[in-house]
Structure 1
């Protein structure tokens, strides 16, 4: 579990925000509680995987967690990688794993930008879930790996879609300049009192999405630029430095930085991981460690990013 000083400041408990799906039986095409299955968003050719927990109650508003796959990967790989369907990490929430159009999400130069685009799909998919299942509209969250982590940041930047999500997390995020990308544009989230909680994990050995960015083909932005950008949007001011920067593991070395902005303690957080590259940190290992041993040479890692993500999300709601 996270050390107490790393936990975000939990917001005061507010009333649950029931979705229109509350009181309805689970649709027959949906998975039974405790299982996941692949589905299509009606009226489109877009796929997603859906997990419903064994504890699901049609009359109790339930948290919803989105998990977006990396470039050239898919929803099934992401389910196995992030493990949002495992009760060990996910204590009773619904998990959803969208599939991209062509293996890439908006912001990646190879993504299909035609409308309806990935932001439209995410918005429509969230509405679809809220209409058919009992979702707590105040507890909807987004996370992703690599291009999926970058797309999570794109969601947060969108005033329409991002305003429906309570908090965001990115693992080994690939961040591109979106200013001139059709349907994306500059980062302009809607103003809201709750702010935009953002958690980021990155390995210093990452050669796919380097922590300091790159200027080669499809240039990627430095992670510090992304973090300072979210700090500024949360009220810290441009170029603000972290409030804390601490060592949480010595071998391998893991540093944890956090920004507290406008009374929002640790609303932006970052884990800088040594001896690991473009991988989802896990104490047991996962598909990243098996497929990319040169980037994940240890075979596993000293913490579970998924556990930290759920701890972070638990501190925030709309």
Structure 2
């Protein structure tokens, strides 16, 4: 068995154990918390276990939409984890569902997944975008919590490219950073509205509600869209990815030192934190892939000319990271 297959197998075993543990714990505490308003309700009209539905919602005076995947093992009496997944620029909620594979039963049969749709297929935080997607997210979260039996300590965020950048917007938001447990941006575009651009030292504005935000980023060394080395783009500044990660480690009051862990061919995890905070912040860096959602199977990213499949799958790593980082409320 190759090293990368061993890593993948260990992630799968950990996920299976986590699902069993979460189910057992939840089964002992079925709707004890009256704040879990969606528990005990039947699924909304037209929705079925194991299927995805398109939902419309009013937000900030606009009619907007999102996809919601109800896992085959969803039980309306057991609090369930939720993942919000944001598409990249010029992509859609449907394309993100196909890309991230979070609805693939190989990876997930127990978690609800929400795919918001951006106005003009992009997100707040991208230069020139004025849509209030933070409010949109808050409105979706409130609706999801009212319709499904949601574990409020296990609501997570991921996304690709502009959607990855919006993960960072949410992690830096003084309100929603206290509602979401952990964040996993992929090939993220972390724009800063300042020029000239000194990518290694640019100040990264951020006002999180806490100093223990788990964040695991993924980036390719051959990304020619959002360069690993940062730089000016769309008349704003992109930080280098190492600078971006080091700033998150500092916000979480972690040591600037990190541990390098091999993940697969050409791929390492830079892990920050020690003791109980080990891995609170991390970066998975693949030196040879481009602006992609890392996958060993063909997908819409790695089949573009000049791209190729990665030597690892980001999806089970993200699920494993989320599994070990629930929201801790003191």
TM-score by length of 1: 0.86
State the alpha-carbon separation in 2 of the partners of residues 124 and 144 from structure 1.
Answer: 18
After TM superposition, what 4+ stretches of structure 1 lie above 6 angstroms from structure 2?
12-16
Q: Which residue is equivalent to 2:298?
A: 285
1:36 and 2:52 aligned? yes
Q: Which residue is equivalent to 2:243?
A: 225
- Per-residue deviation, 1:110: 3.4
Q: Which residue is equivalent to 1:88?
A: 106
Please tell me whether the aligned partners of residues 194 and 237 of structure 2 are also in contact (alpha carbons under 8 angstroms): no
Please tell me whether the aligned partners of residues 172 and 279 of structure 1 are also in contact (alpha carbons under 8 angstroms): yes
- After superposition, the Cα gap between the structure-2 partners of 1:178 and 1:91, relative to the gap in structure 1 and judged at 3 Å, is farther
Specify which structure has the higher proportion of helix: 2
- 1:263-294: CA deviation from partner (whole Å, max 9, x where unpaired): 4011111111122100111111211123x222
State the alpha-carbon separation in 1 of the partners of residues 290 and 262 from structure 2.
Answer: 19
Q: What is the DSSP-based 3-state SS (H/G/I as helix, E as strand, rest coil) of the residue aligned with 1:45?
A: strand
- After superposition, the Cα gap between the structure-2 partners of 1:178 and 1:196, relative to the gap in structure 1 and judged at 3 Å, is farther
Please tell me whether the aligned partners of residues 236 and 262 of structure 1 are also in contact (alpha carbons under 8 angstroms): no
Deviates more, 1:170-179 or 1:150-159: 170-179
Q: What is the DSSP-based 3-state SS (H/G/I as helix, E as strand, rest coil) of the residue aligned with 1:41?
A: strand
Q: Which runs of 5 or more structure 2 residues have no equivalent in the other structure?
A: 1-6, 196-203
Q: How does 1:42-81 map to 2 (within 5 A)?
A: 42=58, 44-81=62-99
1:123 and 2:138 aligned? yes
Q: Which residue is equivalent to 1:107?
A: 125
Q: Which residue is equivalent to 1:273?
A: 286
Q: What is the DSSP-based 3-state SS (H/G/I as helix, E as strand, rest coil) of the residue aligned with 2:154?
A: strand
Q: Which residue is equivalent to 2:208?
A: 189
Please tell me whether the aligned partners of residues 108 and 176 of structure 1 are also in contact (alpha carbons under 8 angstroms): yes
Please tell me whether the aligned partners of residues 86 and 160 of structure 2 are also in contact (alpha carbons under 8 angstroms): yes
State the alpha-carbon separation in 2 of the partners of residues 37 and 75 from structure 1.
Answer: 11
Q: What is the DSSP-based 3-state SS (H/G/I as helix, E as strand, rest coil) of the residue aligned with 2:107?
A: coil
Deviates more, 1:262-271 or 1:121-130: 262-271
Q: Which residue is equivalent to 1:158?
A: 173
State the alpha-carbon separation in 1 of the partners of residues 37 and 103 from structure 2.
Answer: 24
1:236 and 2:271 aligned? no
1:134 and 2:149 aligned? yes
Please tell me whether the aligned partners of residues 177 and 210 of structure 2 are also in contact (alpha carbons under 8 angstroms): no
Q: Which residue is equivalent to 1:149?
A: 164
Q: How does 1:12-31 map to 2 (within 5 A)?
A: 19-29=36-46, 31=47
- After superposition, the Cα gap between the structure-2 partners of 1:315 and 1:33, relative to the gap in structure 1 and judged at 3 Å, is same
State the alpha-carbon separation in 2 of the partners of residues 66 and 131 from structure 1.
Answer: 16
Which of 174, 186, 189 pairs up with 2:189?
174
Q: Which residue is equivalent to 2:200?
A: none
State the alpha-carbon separation in 2 of the partners of residues 235 and 85 from structure 1.
Answer: 34
- Per-residue deviation, 1:4: 6.5
- 1:62-105: CA deviation from partner (whole Å, max 9, x where unpaired): 00011000111110100000011112112300001001112211
RMSD (CA atoms): 2.5
- Per-residue deviation, 1:39: 1.3
Q: Which runs of 5 or more structure 1 residues have no equivalent in the other structure?
A: none
